[in-house]
Structure 1
């Protein structure tokens, strides 16, 4: 048992420690903010701080729904189902909320968001999984 996982008191399943859960949630939020900031910069939009927040909030809300729906706190750094759940939540929730609030939702933007959020939200989890695997492989030598 590592310091990152602890047995759940009722089920006995291992669950992530609080610092891992908080770290993953913060990482997801920051990466969504980076996505929004890059998008706004690419379109040369002003009002940097408020603008980024206005662009990011639907995706942040969607990611939060993904966290809840997929119970990401159980294994926040897992690619499946956690990374996939946050990615799909951020994308689908973000686009739905954008549409409901009169913000732009065009096919090209959906594709860019699909790819960008996937690379960011699933990508860091894949990277961490690879690092963990390499560490275990070195430990077996």
Structure 2
């Protein structure tokens, strides 16, 4: 089974965070300012970078476990913890939506990639 290079995986994770940010800001009618969108995304991008480093995700970037879960966990936890420094406060409902959306997207693309690689190999 061929290993996925790190850069497409990093781009996929980046897209997941940016889509999360764009959908969230649009649903709260605050998508007009690119600066605001960046401020909302920033804590999660920091969490994503730390997650990639902590998990050494470049070694097996498309593995749902443990790579995907570790990167997702760091993105959510650090993003939610850093969020008050960038844009807003803390809300449990926001945390649950964040965790759910990013789990479905960040772990989900890895699961789809794993299935596709297994099918291609057989």
When the two structures are superposed, what TM-score results if normalisation uses the length of structure 2?
0.91
Q: Select the structure with the greater relative contact order (CA < 8 A; seq sep ≥ 6).
A: 2
CA offset digits 1:60-79 (Å, max 9, x no partner) = 10011111111111000110
Instruction: State whether structure 2 residue 66 is matched by structure 1 residue 61.
Output: no
Structural mapping, 1:55-134, within 5 Å: 55-101=40-86, 103-134=88-119
Q: Does 1:40 align with 2:25?
A: yes
| Residues 39 and 86, structure 2, Cα contact 8 Å, conserved in 1 | no
Shift of 1:21: 0.6
What TM-score results when the alignment is normalised by the length of structure 1? 0.79
Alpha-carbon distance between aligned partners in 2 of 1:102 and 1:31, rounded to the nearest angstrom? 19
Distance 1:81 1:30, change over 3 A: same
Q: Distance in 1 between matches of 2:40 and 2:67?
A: 23
More helix by share: 2
Please, what is the CA RMSD of the aligned residues? 1.7
Measured against aligned partners, the alpha-carbon deviations of 1:14-34 in whole angstroms (never above 9, x if no partner) come to xx6xxx111111111111000
- Return 5+ residue gaps in structure 2 as ranges: none
Structure with a larger share of its residues in strand: 1
Aligned to 1:28: 13
Unaligned segments of structure 1, at least 5 residues: 5-15
The alignment partner of 1:76 has SS state of coil
